[in-house]
């Protein structure tokens, strides 16, 4: 019967009523430096309609159709006098009814200059949200989503952690001494499986309902801010999830790379992951294209940032999130994979609106030449300017592990951190580089160091005294490890104990932790709380001495204040002759041992405990 009515309607020329499914960005603001806004309007046969917007100060400067009939892109200019308010996007058609869609321009909560990013005064706590804490068991399974189940026994299934879990434990995070959080992506990943990690985004404007709501995300930001904790959003400009809503009806024939091949039912071209092609002066074109245009995985289509509508979409999306969630920073995934000219435009557009903001890009390279290439102010051979404050310090990560694990020899052991740090001359701003002992994509540092808590402590002490922005993965403080299955991503991202009701152990309040775990938690807390207020570490200059007899010393100096880190890798007590450090000028100064609180005088020599980091400060 229904079908007959529909046939009759079509027969008599009544079109099925068109509708607007979505307009993105879902709202905007007045008062940006960039007065332009491009709306993506999606709806059945929308391209046959003519948009009209009447609002004081606002003008429509262009209307573009895609290659699909179901998209319109509307260019707007928001004049300087435009007031916040709501207007109708009116869509007229000769053959069907007029449609209206209300659209709001909001007032900005603060000026762009008032968004302060993370910097060397911060220590960032990296969190895999599905695995940190389940604050709301009601949202664990959401009907209508493809992976509508949880299984905590399966390392690759969803476990139920969420935004509320993070918000509830902000007091813990802040008491530990962390001043920023970086949760892995919280946007919707409506994928069949492995949706817990968040990097296969299927809607760039929607919080995954299994993590919570937009309101809860905004609440996380404001509650964190009140505790002095900055919120960093993990964003992905390189790819989306294969189940992204637009994959069923792509706006343009080149919206994603290798699109025609994919639409013909073939396997996509995969990235060759040859990241050096971004800098290599000898790189063949085919290799450079293979790097930037290949798909990251067959579940992750490669977005074509050379399509100007895609480019604008991504830039506006980032700004929408900064403004909506009052962010303090962005971590951009897989930085060398998208088109690098676009990435410079992207970061440049953000930094123009928010000059004190911070973005860190992930370049997984152990070569400081590549890491430094991406930092703002780098004197690059090709004139490339990234506009990024921070780049990720994989070279230091590897150096820490090698320095501590290798037997001391002329070219092995502590010499690795000494020579690695010596590469800092290459960075435009070493203190703005983000260093870390591990992250969500590699073995836990405690596993990498053979589950030797003494070495893990030394690694953390070194990291926290460096001229860097340190990042620490959740659970490091309670010696979380993945030694049973090295390299297993699901296990690396183990549930934080106490994050789920009924957990036998609770890392948040200490119940059930082993003595070693509690000791590490206290150790890290002491260091973090000290670092939080140490301008010497945040801003001081650095002097280090070449390692000798299994001992390495690094000094941070600001005005009259000095912080000293000494690593004694020997498994015996060591009497260190201090005369070699005369140039620092701290002879006879009284110093405080940051960990024990003990007072010591810097004179001729010092006894160092076996396999231990000593951190001393002239300022308590
Ligand atoms: Ca939950």
What CA–CA distance (Å, rounded) separates 231 from 326? 8
Q: Which residues pair with 203 in a beta bridge?
A: 188
DSSP SS3 for 308: helix
* Closest residue by Cα to residue 331 from 185, 435, 465, 445: 185
H or E stretch covering 519: helix 515-532
In angstroms, what is the span from residue 501 Cα to ligand 1's centroid?
A: 11
> What Å distances lie between residue 571 and 409, 517, 550, 577, 594, CA to CA?
15, 21, 9, 18, 22
Tokens representing 376? 């703002």
What CA–CA distance (Å, rounded) separates 51 from 98? 10
Q: How confident is the model at residue 96 (pLDDT cuts 50, 70, 90)?
A: confident
Other residues' Cβ atoms within 10 Å of the Cβ of residue 117: 24
Whether residue 620 has pLDDT greater than 90: no
The pLDDT tens digits of the residues spanning 368-396 come to 999 999 999 999 999 999 999 999 999 99
In angstroms, what is the span from residue 143 Cα to ligand 1's centroid?
A: 13
Q: Which is catalytic among the residues 203, 302, 323, 333?
A: 333
In angstroms, what is the span from residue 235 Cα to ligand 1's centroid?
A: 22
The yes-or-no answer on residue 81 being catalytic is no
DSSP SS3 for 430: helix
Whether residue 15 has pLDDT greater than 60: no
Write the burial class of residue 515 (CB in 10 Å: 0-12 exposed, 13-18 middle, 19+ buried).
exposed
In angstroms, what is the span from residue 322 Cα to ligand 1's centroid?
A: 25
User: ω into residue 618 within 30 of 0, thus cis?
Assistant: no
The pLDDT tens digits of the residues spanning 321-341 come to 999 999 999 999 999 999 999
What CA–CA distance (Å, rounded) separates 549 from 356? 44
Task: Report whether CATH 2.60.40.1180 matches the domain 540-617.
Answer: yes
Q: How confident is the model at residue 7 (pLDDT cuts 50, 70, 90)?
A: very low
Tokens representing 615? 């951190």
Question: What's the pLDDT score for residue 8?
Answer: 42
In angstroms, what is the span from residue 210 Cα to ligand 1's centroid?
A: 6
- Which has more pLDDT, 7 or 463? 463
CA of residue 573 relative to chain centroid, distance: 41
In angstroms, what is the span from residue 362 Cα to ligand 1's centroid?
A: 28
H or E stretch covering 63: strand 58-65
In angstroms, what is the span from residue 158 Cα to ligand 1's centroid?
A: 9
In angstroms, what is the span from residue 324 Cα to ligand 1's centroid?
A: 23
Q: How confident is the model at residue 17 (pLDDT cuts 50, 70, 90)?
A: low
Whether residue 317 has pLDDT greater than 70: yes
DSSP SS3 for 244: coil
* Closest residue by Cα to residue 305 from 335, 261, 346, 249: 346
221: left (phi over 0), alpha (psi -120 to 50) or beta: alpha
Backbone angles phi, psi at 567, to 5 degrees: -105, 120
Please check whether the two domains, 2-108 and 540-617, share a CATH topology.
Answer: yes
What CA–CA distance (Å, rounded) separates 618 from 564? 9
In angstroms, what is the span from residue 480 Cα to ligand 1's centroid?
A: 22
CA of residue 280 relative to chain centroid, distance: 26
Q: What is the DSSP letter of 268?
A: P
Question: What's the pLDDT score for residue 16?
Answer: 52
The yes-or-no answer on residue 333 being catalytic is yes
3-state secondary structure 157-221: CCCCCCHHHHHHCHHHHHHHCCCEEEECCCEECCCCCCHHHCCCCCEEEEECCCCCCHHHHHHHH
Q: Which residues contact 368 (CB under 8 A, 6 or more apart)?
A: 395, 420, 423, 426, 427
In angstroms, what is the span from residue 436 Cα to ligand 1's centroid?
A: 28
Question: What's the pLDDT score for residue 589?
Answer: 97
Query: What is the mean predicted confidence (pLDDT) over 430-449?
Result: 98
In angstroms, what is the span from residue 127 Cα to ligand 1's centroid?
A: 15
What CA–CA distance (Å, rounded) separates 424 from 432? 11
Q: Which is catalytic among the residues 168, 362, 438, 495?
A: 362
The listed CATH number (2.60.40.10, 3.40.50.620, 3.40.50.280, 3.40.630.30) that belongs to domain 2-108: 2.60.40.10
Backbone angles phi, psi at 446, to 5 degrees: -65, -35
- C-alpha angle 226-206-114 in degrees, rounded to nearest 5: 35
In angstroms, what is the span from residue 146 Cα to ligand 1's centroid?
A: 16
Question: What's the pLDDT score for residue 19?
Answer: 83
Question: What's the pLDDT score for residue 13?
Answer: 43
- Which residues are near ligand 1, the ion (C-beta closer than 5 Å)? 134, 136, 139-140, 160, 162
In angstroms, what is the span from residue 218 Cα to ligand 1's centroid?
A: 17
The pLDDT tens digits of the residues spanning 548-574 come to 999 999 999 999 999 999 999 999 999
Question: What's the pLDDT score for residue 452?
Answer: 98
In angstroms, what is the span from residue 111 Cα to ligand 1's centroid?
A: 34
Contact 479, 449 (CB under 8 A): no
Q: How confident is the model at residue 220 (pLDDT cuts 50, 70, 90)?
A: very high
The pLDDT tens digits of the residues spanning 120-144 come to 999 999 999 999 999 999 999 999 9
Q: Domain map of the chain by residue range?
A: 2-108, 540-617
> What Å distances lie between residue 296 and 200, 312, 337, CA to CA?
10, 22, 8
**In which residue are the tokens 């740090």 written?**
421
In angstroms, what is the span from residue 132 Cα to ligand 1's centroid?
A: 10
In angstroms, what is the span from residue 217 Cα to ligand 1's centroid?
A: 14
Q: What is the DSSP letter of 302?
A: B
In angstroms, what is the span from residue 509 Cα to ligand 1's centroid?
A: 20
Question: What's the pLDDT score for residue 9?
Answer: 42
What CA–CA distance (Å, rounded) separates 315 from 38? 11
């Amino acid at each position: 019967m229904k079908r007959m009515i529909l046939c009759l309607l079509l027969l008599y020329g009544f079109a099925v009523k068109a509708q607007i499914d979505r307009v993105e960005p879902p709202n905007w603001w007045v008062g940006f430096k960039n007065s332009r806004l491009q709306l993506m309007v999606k709806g059945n046969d929308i391209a046959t309609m003519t948009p009209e917007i009447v609002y004081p100060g606002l003008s429509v400067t262009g209307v573009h159709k895609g290659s699909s009939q179901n998209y319109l892109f509307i260019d707007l200019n928001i004049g300087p006098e435009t007031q916040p308010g709501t207007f109708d996007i009116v869509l007229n058609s000769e053959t069907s009814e007029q449609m209206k869609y209300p659209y709001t321009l909001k007032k900005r909560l603060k000026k762009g200059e008032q968004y302060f990013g993370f910097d060397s005064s911060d220590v960032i706590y990296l969190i895999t949200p599905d695995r940190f804490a389940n604050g709301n068991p009601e949202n664990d399974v959401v009907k209508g989503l493809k992976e509508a189940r949880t299984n905590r026994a399966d390392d690759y299934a969803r476990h139920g952690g969420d935004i509320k879990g993070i918000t509830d434990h902000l007091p813990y995070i802040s008491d530990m001494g962390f001043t920023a959080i970086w949760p892995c992506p919280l946007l919707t990943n409506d994928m069949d499986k492995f949706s817990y990690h968040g990097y296969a985004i299927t809607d760039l404007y929607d919080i995954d309902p299994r993590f919570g709501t937009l309101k809860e995300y905004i609440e996380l930001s404001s509650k964190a801010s009140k505790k002095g904790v900055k919120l960093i959003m993990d964003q992905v400009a390189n790819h989306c999830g294969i189940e992204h809503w637009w994959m069923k009806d792509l706006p343009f024939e080149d919206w994603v790379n290798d699109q025609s091949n994919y639409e013909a039912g073939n396997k996509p071209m995969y990235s060759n992951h040859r990241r050096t092609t971004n800098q290599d002066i000898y790189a063949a074109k085919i290799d450079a294209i293979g790097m930037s245009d290949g798909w990251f995985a067959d579940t992750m289509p490669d977005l074509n940032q050379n399509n100007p509508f895609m480019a604008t979409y991504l830039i506006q999306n980032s700004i929408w999130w900064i403004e909506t969630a009052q962010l303090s920073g962005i971590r951009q995934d897989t930085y060398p994979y998208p088109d690098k000219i676009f990435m410079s435009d992207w970061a440049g557009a953000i930094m123009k609106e928010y000059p004190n903001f911070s973005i860190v890009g992930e370049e997984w390279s152990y070569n400081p030449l590549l890491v430094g290439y991406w930092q703002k102010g780098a004197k690059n051979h090709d004139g490339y300017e990234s506009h990024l404050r921070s780049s990720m310090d994989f070279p230091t990560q590897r150096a820490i592990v090698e320095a501590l694990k290798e037997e001391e020899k002329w070219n092995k052991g502590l010499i690795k951190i000494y020579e690695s740090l010596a590469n800092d001359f290459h960075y435009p701003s070493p203190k703005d580089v983000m260093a870390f002992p591990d992250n969500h994509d590699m073995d836990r540092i405690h596993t990498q160091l053979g589950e030797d808590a003494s070495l893990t402590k030394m690694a953390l002490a070194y990291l926290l005294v460096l001229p860097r922005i340190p990042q620490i993965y959740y659970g490091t403080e309670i010696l979380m490890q993945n030694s049973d299955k090295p390299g297993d991503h699901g296990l690396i991202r183990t549930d934080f104990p106490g994050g789920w009701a009924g957990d036998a152990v609770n890392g948040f309040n200490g119940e059930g932790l082993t003595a070693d775990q509690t000791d590490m938690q206290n150790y890290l807390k002491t260091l973090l709380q000290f670092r939080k207020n140490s301008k010497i570490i945040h801003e001081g200059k650095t002097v280090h001495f070449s390692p000798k007899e299994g001992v390495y010393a690094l000094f941070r100096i600001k005005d009259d204040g000095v912080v000293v880190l000494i690593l004694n890798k020997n498994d015996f007590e060591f009497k260190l002759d201090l005369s070699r450090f005369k140039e620092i000028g701290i002879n006879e100064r009284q110093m405080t041992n940051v960990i024990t609180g003990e007072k010591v005088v810097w004179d001729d020599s010092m006894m160092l405990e076996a396999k231990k980091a000593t951190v001393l400060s002239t300022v308590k």
